[in-house]
Structures are given as C-alpha cells and as structure tokens.
Amino acid sequence: MSEKRTIGILGGAGQEGSGLAVRWAAAGHDVLIGSRDRARAETAAAELTALLPGGTIRGVDNAEAAHAAEIVVLTVPYAVQQATALAAAESLRGKILIDVTAPLAPPKVGTVQLPAGGSAVVALQQALGPDVTVVAAFQNISAHHLRDLDHVMDCDVLVSTDSAEAAEAVIALVADAGMKGWHAGPLANSAAAEALTSVMITLNRKYKISGAGIRITGGAGH
Amino acid sequence: MSEKRTIGILGGAGQEGSGLAVRWAAAGHDVLIGSRDRARAETAAAELTALLPGGTIRGVDNAEAAHAAEIVVLTVPYAVQQATALAAAESLRGKILIDVTAPLAPPKVGTVQLPAGGSAVVALQQALGPDVTVVAAFQNISAHHLRDLDHVMDCDVLVSTDSAEAAEAVIALVADAGMKGWHAGPLANSAAAEALTSVMITLNRKYKISGAGIRITGGAGH
C-alpha cells in the first residue's frame, strides 16, 4: 500500500463508498464511512468490516468523517453533492476532497446531460473555494465489484486535478483499491469522466455488461 | 468487410481522414477523399493509393465527395466543421454523416472545453436539420497508426447516434477499419468522446504515449 492514510467517505454507506471503503481498509488504511444518519453508517460499517481479512471500518456521521480524515471522499448522489460538501466545508480546508460525482439527470441517466459549465466537480471546486483541493476520480468504475475483494478490477481510473501533488496521492489510492490511475489533466477534464458515466450505463444496458469500464491503451505494456 | 459502400471523406487529405481512407479502401470500399483544394486531394489520394495492396482512392473536391458518396465522413478542424458540412448540406440529405470532430480550443487542446450545449456534433446536427443522420465516432483514435495497415489498432470506438440503423452501419465500418465499435447511446453522448479527446492528448504528453486510446472492459471476453 501507499503511505497509510485516514480516509473519510461522505455517503460511505452507499454502494460506491462502501466498495472503496472495503478496498482501502483491506489495503491497511484507516477508513471512516459517514452518513447523514450515524446509525445507518454504523450498521453499514459493521457489515463491511465482516468482509475484511482484518481491521475495522468505522461508521460515523458525515461531519465526523470529514473532520477526522486527512483525505475526504464524496460519494453521494448529484442532487446532494454540493450540500453535503458545503456542510463539511470547514473540515475540508487544507485537505484533498476526492469527488466521484457524475451529474446524472434522472430518469435519463444513460444520456449525457452535463451541467452549465461542463463539470459538476468544477462547480463544486468553485463553491468550496481554493482552500480545498478537489480531485475528480472513480466515476467510471463498477461499484458492485469493489466490495468483492476476490474480484480483480478490470478498469482504469481517470484522475483530474489541477494539483500534481494531489494527483500523485490519489493515484496511489487508486492502486490501493486495485486499479490503475492516470492523471487525466486539470480538474476541467473531469467533464470527460462525468460524461462517460452515462455512456457506461448505456453500454451496460445495450450489451448486457455487468459493469462496463474503460482501460487506456497505447501505453507501455500494451 | 461489411456491405460495400461508397464513402466520401470531407477533409480527407488530413491525417485522420487519410488513415480512415486507407483502412476502408483496403477493406474493399469505394473511397473518395475530398479537400477544399482538389489538387491537394488528388496528390494525397495518389500517395494513399500507393499504400494499398490493391484498389484506388480517388481525390476530388469536398462537394464532389459529398455528392458521390452514400456515407459521408467529416474530418476537418473544429474551426471549419460547420462551414464545411453546411456547404455540402444539399448532398448530405438522406445520408449518414459521420462526424469525427472534437471541439479542441487551441492553444489548450489538452483541456476539455466543450461548447455551450455540450457537444460540437449535436450543434452540427441542429444546424443541418433532421434530413441528415449525424453520427459521432472516431474521436479517440490514433490517426497516425491508421494508415499503417500492419499496425493492429489497440482501441475501441464509441459511436453515438439517435438512429439504431445508422449505429449498425457505422459499427460495421469501424470493424472494417480494424476496431471494435460500441453504440454509446444517443448523439448527445458524443460529448463524452469529444471531451475524451483532450484527455487522450494529455495522456500522450504526460505518459509519453504515441497514441492513447480506450477500450471498453467488463464485457464478454474480458
């Protein structure tokens, strides 16, 4: 694993947050999953801890997860993305916030419908201001495969951020979760990964794939 | 190969159009490359024909390429995308127009800068009206590998269109060019592939890749 981190996952009782929690805890990180409802987080944490070969995932409320963590991860539906992050804004200062949000617009979640400005994550960075280093990642992974530690993740992760240092830290966490991360450019490039989420949903439906993802080709080793 | 087609490539003297021309002519299609400058198209066509194991690529002007073809392909810079297609609009009626345009905004071509509305190809469809079936494809392939017929293309192609019939025809042409095509959803989903173009440019630079592409994972055979 990379340097041991304390990671707080806001919305971590949901499917994607839970999956990341399992992978990172199994890799040796100290993981807290947060929820609006502390009891729900505690229940989920107990279930996820049972999947681990060792160690513990703790369930807390979102405020405590943000406060206690060195690196915070936002895994909530788009509708509450900004509200959830802004409620924790004081605790996020000086930290990396990994935002996995894709701006899906139900009911047509298979159709790309990017917000004005092009990226939901860029909009969050603007709302939080420069004291928080927002990094976009993990939008295109198959959440239900994550919590199965025996499943080899067959996809890459695009990491978009304006900070080279944050890119390095997040790419290390991608590796700890069993995938290859690529620094895909500035935070604005998150628009590509956000839009791809709807494409992946479409491919899952049209081609009966259980969890479509992407790999980058053309590089060394290919 | 799929059903033999007459394919006209507007801007076909450029790198991507030339590469597609070589692949499709080698697969047995009848290919015309068009240019604003007919002499330039004729010179390029002669050079490309020399790369073929047999057959001929013809060089004409864009107007003739659009007029003579059953399926038209638009491979010009974003700055002249609409003007080039609109100049040929009468010839495009009732046909499929494959648009490979990515809305790159120099000098920052590695940064996603989608147009208002999200997609340059959707904007073109709106400008051309419903008589032309616009299909977005081929935005994320490595053009300089295409014309080398010995090079096995290591990437997939996202095909975005509102027409299931057009998707089928274009996916067959993707296969004839040596790649796997996926119907990625409605034309609006072109925004994902358009945005990915800047990500691919960034990855080529950051990771010294000669032609980054993507493959879809999670499907049968993976």
Tell me which residues of chain B, numbers 82 to 111, contact chain A at a CB-CB cutoff of 8 Å: 110-111
Mean pLDDT of chain A: 95
Q: Answer whether B153 touches A (CB < 8 Å).
A: no
Q: Answer whether B115 touches A (CB < 8 Å).
A: no
Q: Answer whether B184 touches A (CB < 8 Å).
A: yes
Of the pLDDT bands very low, low, confident and very high (cuts 50, 70, 90), residue B219 is low
Q: Where are the domains of chain A?
A: 6-207
Q: Answer whether A154 touches B (CB < 8 Å).
A: yes
* CATH architecture of the domain formed by B6-206: 3-Layer(aba) Sandwich (3.40)
Residue B221 is predicted with a pLDDT of 41
Which whole number is the average pLDDT over A87-112? 97
Q: Closest residue of B to A219, CA-based?
A: B209
Which whole number is the average pLDDT over A93-108? 97
Residue A143 is predicted with a pLDDT of 84
Size of interface A-B (CB pairs under 8 A): 144
Residue B177 to residue B168: CA distance in whole angstroms: 14
Q: Answer whether A139 touches B (CB < 8 Å).
A: no
Cα B125 → chain centroid: 15
Mind listing the pLDDT tens digit for each residue in B3-42?
Answer: 999 999 999 999 999 999 999 999 999 999 999 999 999 9
**Contact status, residue B100 vs residue B195, Cβ threshold 8 Å:** no
Instruction: Average the pLDDT over each of A37-41, A47-51, B52-56 and give the range with the smallest value.
Output: B52-56
What share of chain B in percent tops pLDDT 70? 98
**Contact status, residue A120 vs residue A81, Cβ threshold 8 Å:** yes
> Looking at CA atoms only, how far is residue B219 from chain A in angstroms?
5
**Inter-chain contact A212–B219, Cβ cutoff 8 Å?**
yes
Residue B57 to residue B68: CA distance in whole angstroms: 13
Q: Name the burial class of residue A163, with classes exposed (0-12), middle (13-18) and buried (19+) by CB atoms within 10 angstroms of its CB.
A: middle
pLDDT at residue A83 greater than cutoff 80: yes
CATH class, domain A6-207, is: alpha beta
Tell me the pairing of strands A6-10 and A71-74: parallel
Which whole number is the average pLDDT over A29-35? 98
pLDDT at residue B52 greater than cutoff 80: yes
Q: Which residues of A touch B189 (CB under 8 A)?
A: 110-112, 195, 198-199, 202
- Sign of the dihedral through C-alpha A182, A188, A192, A195: positive
Residue B212 to residue B204: CA distance in whole angstroms: 6
Mind listing the pLDDT tens digit for each residue in A166-208?
Answer: 999 999 999 999 999 999 999 999 999 999 999 999 999 999 9
* Cis peptide bond prior to A107, omega within 30° of 0: yes
